[in-house]
Amino acid sequence: MKQMSRLSTASLERTQPSIFDEPIYDNDLHQKFVRWKEKSGTSLRKLAPMLRRSYTSVGNYLNYKYEGDLKDLERDILALLERKEGQGGKVKKERFCQIPVSTMIWEVLQTCHERRKEGSVIGASGTSKTWTALEYQDKNPGTILITASPTRRSLSSILHAILFRVGGGGVNTKLDDILYSVIDRLKSWGRLIILDESNFLKFESFEILRTIYDETQTGFVYLGTPKLYSRMRGDRNYDWDQILSRISIRRAVNEISYEDVKIITSEISPGLAKNCVDFLFQTAQEPGKLRVMVDLLKKAVEFHEVEGATLNLNLFKEIKKLNDF
């Protein structure tokens, strides 16, 4: 094995007992829950009262660190998914719109997957990065999608998340043992690992991911906001050079085009009046971009179908004002 990166073995050994000691997670249920959360956009603060648990407890469960009665929590999660989605917690799949911006993101994912390269897609929130990544994972089941967050950003949490997704288990008390296990399982697999919201990752997490890439030639794609690239380019003590030099394909999502909006509106509400499409296009240029625009469109369509409201420009304006979009 090649020499490990700048992270020393000694530093990797300083950790708490493994999350895999006991209890054992129901991985299928965990993945369904994560997927539903990401698809629905439900925040931790909204999830906590739904599950009658604290904000911290739900976050710990998502990061495989829950210390309470796991089986009891899993029963409540399954019940929640059944209420929200039905069919035993099966996540309903929304129709994916192959818009120009998602096509660009897809090409980065596919290139890094097939050629075992590292890539990045930088764009503001709501520019279909997560949406496209979820669809790519659907079409390529071996793809590993990990979403970083304020509670999942450290070297330890990222390593644990990857190991769990490649079928790791048993007793691991040292992070270097976990790292070697991840490397061993990823060699020759030809998988793609997508790090969504990677602007949250600590520098040490990028370093360990670089080690995994060097040892396994697994494809990696970093999805994040412009903050990620500014961190990489703005720190001129050269620590980031090793990371940047391995990213062979980069794309920036700077704008949402009228064609993007037109395709989505045609899919969700065929025949929508042009002034409504124009209004939605203007909304897609604001903070939140496509995510907010699609949410606004779906709320208007729901109002139209349930309440019988006329689907016109006034309805869109009223909903946008009431919901503070």
User: Could you write out the three-class secondary structure of 208-266?
Assistant: HHHHHHHHHCCEEEEEECHHHHHHHHHCCCCCCHHHHCCEEEEEEECCCCHHHHHHHHH
- Which pLDDT does position 41 carry in this prediction? 67
- Which pLDDT does position 313 carry in this prediction? 96
Two structure tokens written together for 194: 């997508």
Q: What pTM did the predictor assign? A: 0.73
Q: Report, as an integer, the average pLDDT of 37-43.
A: 73
Q: Is 25 left (phi over 0), alpha (psi -120 to 50) or beta?
A: beta
User: Are 176 and 82 in a shared domain?
Assistant: no
Taking 70 as the threshold, does the pLDDT of residue 224 lie above it?
A: yes
Kindly provide the residue ranges of all beta strands, DSSP E only, lying in 33-180, ordered along the sequence.
118-123, 144-147
User: Are 76 and 166 in a shared domain?
Assistant: no
Q: What is the C-alpha to C-alpha distance for residues 65 and 160, in angstroms, rounded to an integer?
A: 10
Q: Which residues contact 131 (CB under 8 A, 6 or more apart)?
A: 96, 102, 290
Check if the beta carbon of residue 40 is closer than 8 Å to that of residue 93: no
In the chain, the number of structural domains is 3
Q: Report, as an integer, the average pLDDT of 252-263.
A: 93
Strand partners, 123: 253
Directed axis angle between helix 175-186 and helix 203-216, to 10°?
40
Q: Is residue 5 part of a domain?
A: no
Check if the beta carbon of residue 163 is closer than 8 Å to that of residue 25: no
Taking 60 as the threshold, does the pLDDT of residue 91 lie above it?
A: no
Kindly provide the residue ranges of all beta strands, DSSP E only, lying in 71-230, ordered along the sequence.
118-123, 144-147, 192-196, 219-224
User: Are 238 and 269 in a shared domain?
Assistant: no
User: Are 220 and 288 in a shared domain?
Assistant: no
Q: Is residue 108 part of a domain?
A: yes
Give the torsion through C-alpha atoms of 271, 277, 280, 282, to 10 deg.
170
Domain stop point among 38, 68, 89: 89
- Of the given ranges (75-79, 81-85, 125-129), which has the lowest mean pLDDT? 81-85
User: Are 236 and 122 in a shared domain?
Assistant: yes
User: Are 105 and 164 in a shared domain?
Assistant: yes
Longest Cα–Cα distance in the chain: 66
The closest alpha carbon to 194, from 270, 139, 258, 129, belongs to 129
Range of the domain at 36: 20-89
Q: Which residues contact 188 (CB under 8 A, 6 or more apart)?
A: none
User: Are 64 and 160 in a shared domain?
Assistant: no
Q: What is the C-alpha to C-alpha distance for residues 300 and 310, in angstroms, rounded to an integer?
A: 9
- Which pLDDT does position 59 carry in this prediction? 84
CATH of the domain at 32: 1.10.260
